[in-house]
Structure 1
Amino acid sequence: MARRLIPLLLTTILSGCLGTEVGNPDEDSGGPKPEPIPSDLRALPAALTLESSCPGGTRRASHLLSNQTPFDVDAVAGGTRGEEAHPSSFEVDGYGTQELVAVIHLPENGVLSAEGKLVVDHRREGVQPGGENDRRLEIPWSAPLGPRRPEATVLCGEAMPCALLSFGNVFTGAVWQMPLEVANDGCAPLRLERIVAEGDEVEIAGPALPLTLQAGERWQGRLLLRPAATGFRSGKVVVETDDDARPQQSIGWSAAVSG
């Protein structure tokens, strides 16, 4: 039977280092705050402590959601003030798990630290919305803030940085491609000098280099493979930028070629 994802309301709370006050639910309603409905999902880790970034920078983190019940769950995750979730809507089988990647855009007005929450609203599959059927998991995050600088992040078509471009099983006589991106997750312009692929049968395709990426921008290209003979192939892709912390980054690539 086909499963159906039910849209749920998403909210998120984001505050900077000085602490943005949020209304007290007891004061707003004029009565006692109701007991929260227990979440069917648990996050591992339960909270995200992010690496230091600059105000307006981007941080990425991966964590695992675990369904603590035998019931299948429909879920929607994300935020409205700086948090993105990948995937943003999904199902978790009873006692199953789901990887969730958070991409967090830090506020530009922070001084020492920033904090907020990633929200996962969920409901057991097949039940009606409302009341005790609607459940929420909140995943707090925090990040210290530092000086403004560029920061190069190498991506391979996903929200998290990659360590390997795997073509998998391919064959000769065709051109194969994998996505390759360089994002400026920092708060100052990033100079992307060059990208080099090792191997006679691979090349980089994309906008001409060098170029400058402003904060939040990304270079989007591809790694092309044209195998001429069978066998296992592997090599490296080297990315050179003016990111002082990581001026040169290398990721591997591999392919198993058949005729």
Structure 2
Amino acid sequence: MTDTSNAPTTTNSETRSVQAGRVQLAYRTWGGGEGTPVVLLHALGEDGEDWRGPLLSHLSAEHRLYAPDLTGHGASDWPGTYGLEQQRDDLAAFLDALALDRVVLVGHSYGSILAYLLAQEQPSRVVRLVLEEPAPLRPLAVPLEVPERPAGRLLFDWEVKVQFTQERNSPKPDWWERLADITSPALLVAGGPESHLAQRDMELMAERMPDARTVTVEGGGHLVHEERPREFAATVGAFLAE
């Protein structure tokens, strides 16, 4: 149940907002089942609308679903500072504000990184963990170039991309080491050879977690939930039903 002392306000028929520590975060919610609440975390440059599709209909009968716009994205606040641990803490504050004590986290790409960082920090809070095409936070053989902002209006603050690139190039060692602190069952969903990420890295991540496995959805690439939406929904649904 939502804590009425910090109740979210409705900004339109579908999107609400709530004060989550240092930021106000917009979010969408669907469903009303009695199962563990499911929080859906989008990729960098997207917003919560990215999750509309078969996954919602597949899960909403059993679970209440929440899809926030992450800090610096969409209708949420753009404060200008976006370190991964700040983003992780913003996510934890979001859960606190909505009195979501124990949750399932489903993250895609950047969102999956925030999901597993939170699962390291607050392992008892995460009941199950789904990571779609996660990247490992280890030093890169070839550092990424910090990109220049493209022209035109963006759905997100470009500084998110800049600061994330910097942290990908110089990650904290314990982000990799503390994968071993994740106690919840975890499913890593890989997209196969069409993805730009090294698929072997996901297997190595799963090996560091106490209770994790990988599954490949062929043809999904880096956008499994978009390219193979029904297969992705069925895979996640089966995992949550175990």
Q: TM-score range by the shorter chain?
A: under 0.3
TM-score under structure 2 length normalisation: 0.25
TM-score under structure 1 length normalisation: 0.24
Larger Rg: 1
More strand by share: 1
More helix by share: 2
